[in-house]
Structure 1
């Protein structure tokens, strides 16, 4: 009897091991008919809510991709940025469809997709503030950035590289809160990606002005888990983004949402790690 239990246990463990070895997230999505993604719909013009719907550049990209998943419904989970990557790790959703700045640390921890947009860091101040004419002029200023973001890390590193850095850094759950404080004079500058700041300036030209960029070129990607189960989904999403880049669809959507196009590589450049 004990021997039978032991053999059964071995068979069960072996069967479980075989099932795990063949786990395939893309096939699971097709079988279940639902593709669940995490997004931060407070990051215009990439993702934001309009008339109760999530719209924007990333939403339009997904609208081009979903027909390739015939019979699959897209389900979005809208979360603050601070919960996006932890939520991916905890398997709260299949994939991240929001603007993830590609940093060496993230490239090592996650599978970051082919680039979807430029994410080079830039500085924005108030339209009537003539004391900030270049990124170097943030010296002694109060600066704002989104908590937990690559933009915050870039601000901290850039500030340290100056002879005299910023006086204070204020952090925010969303960039909209940072923009509000900038407009109200509670901070002197806000650091974000150039496309986002250009959108803020475009919609409120009497309030904001973009000063310039700093640092090396950076790109926005989407993200998947870096494991065997997710490999098929990651490959599928990369191929779809590259297809849209190659056939000019991304350029058309960039013109629609940013008023200009971006020169994007087909793959993320290898991180420059010293």
Structure 2
């Protein structure tokens, strides 16, 4: 299978990553205890702000459901919040090298990831949808992806599900995609759908809902791939106090109604999220 990256996205990622590494506050985000964070007077988190309404950029600043939760946490600790907007592919490696205190972006809980990283309790839920231009009359179901150019975000929750789907497609029909293209971020997938670079995009349900609000009638879903996945934040396994703080604060916000209030603000309804049994077997 031939996997290509958008050249402009590669350059963009290199520039953003280089800029982020040069930020002085990264050097301060060391340690791993709440005492370290309080001593610094700063909670530094890594985010990919391209996942509306969970986290996205508006008027030059990061906003969204996750940002509001982080502001609550920072106030609770009595510190300043620094939310770094970085490419998704650099978040988990950056976490393990203590470039920030934890990853506060919507990371799908998978068995493989849960064996390496310390997931918080879920903050959201998502389905991965096959999407085409609304004018497309020939692609009406997932199996129509045979011989088509399909794309999604590189390193995303959807990527391995799409690759497994193609394997099953080849078993059923003897043929797979013409090409699987991987992009730096989901907005790039939407642009590629719009300009015809892609026949089919695989986009999270929340991202598609936002796209359809901003561009009514532009896209349509023709099905979904894989099972719905829980989304959570991620702490370094060496920093158990960080994960404990996240979980305790989320539970506090559930109990006082603040979490449901924020969910209604950003999603229009309260989310039905589990408080136990969300981690796969063998998880940290």
Q: TM-score, normalised by structure 1?
A: 0.83
Question: Equivalences for 1:94-105 in 2 at 5 Å?
Answer: 94-105=101-112
Aligned equivalent of 2:185: 174
Deviation at 1:248, TM superposition (A): 4.0
Aligned equivalent of 2:80: 73
Deviation at 1:247, TM superposition (A): 4.3
- Secondary structure of 2:228 counterpart: coil
Aligned equivalent of 1:26: 34
Counterpart Cα distance in 2 of 1:75 and 1:238: 20
- Secondary structure of 1:214 counterpart: strand
* Contact 1:198–1:210 (Cα < 8 Å) also in 2: no
- Secondary structure of 1:210 counterpart: strand
Question: Equivalences for 1:77-92 in 2 at 5 Å?
Answer: 77-92=84-99
* Aligned mate of 2:261, from 226, 249, 252: 252
> Greater Rg, structure 1 or structure 2?
1
Counterpart Cα distance in 1 of 2:145 and 2:252: 40
* Aligned mate of 2:219, from 208, 230, 235: 208
Offset from partner CA, 1:23-49 (integer Å, 9 cap, x none)? 751111112211110111222222111
Counterpart Cα distance in 2 of 1:68 and 1:158: 44
Q: Larger deviation: 160-169 or 233-242? A: 160-169
Aligned equivalent of 1:17: none
**RMSD in angstroms over aligned alpha carbons?**
2.0
* Aligned mate of 2:236, from 200, 225, 229: 225
* Aligned mate of 2:153, from 122, 146, 156: 146
Offset from partner CA, 1:192-245 (integer Å, 9 cap, x none)? 321122221222122112233232221111101012xx1111101012123334
Aligned equivalent of 1:237: 246
Could you tell me which runs of 5 or more consecutive residues in structure 1 were left unpaired when the two chains were aligned: 1-22
* Contact 2:161–2:225 (Cα < 8 Å) also in 1: no
Aligned equivalent of 1:60: 68
- Taking a change above 3 Å as real, the CA distance of residues 122 and 260 of structure 1, as seen in their structure-2 partners, is farther
Counterpart Cα distance in 1 of 2:254 and 2:162: 30
Counterpart Cα distance in 2 of 1:76 and 1:271: 29
Deviation at 1:246, TM superposition (A): 4.5
Q: TM-score, normalised by structure 2?
A: 0.81
Aligned equivalent of 2:58: 50
Deviation at 1:89, TM superposition (A): 0.9
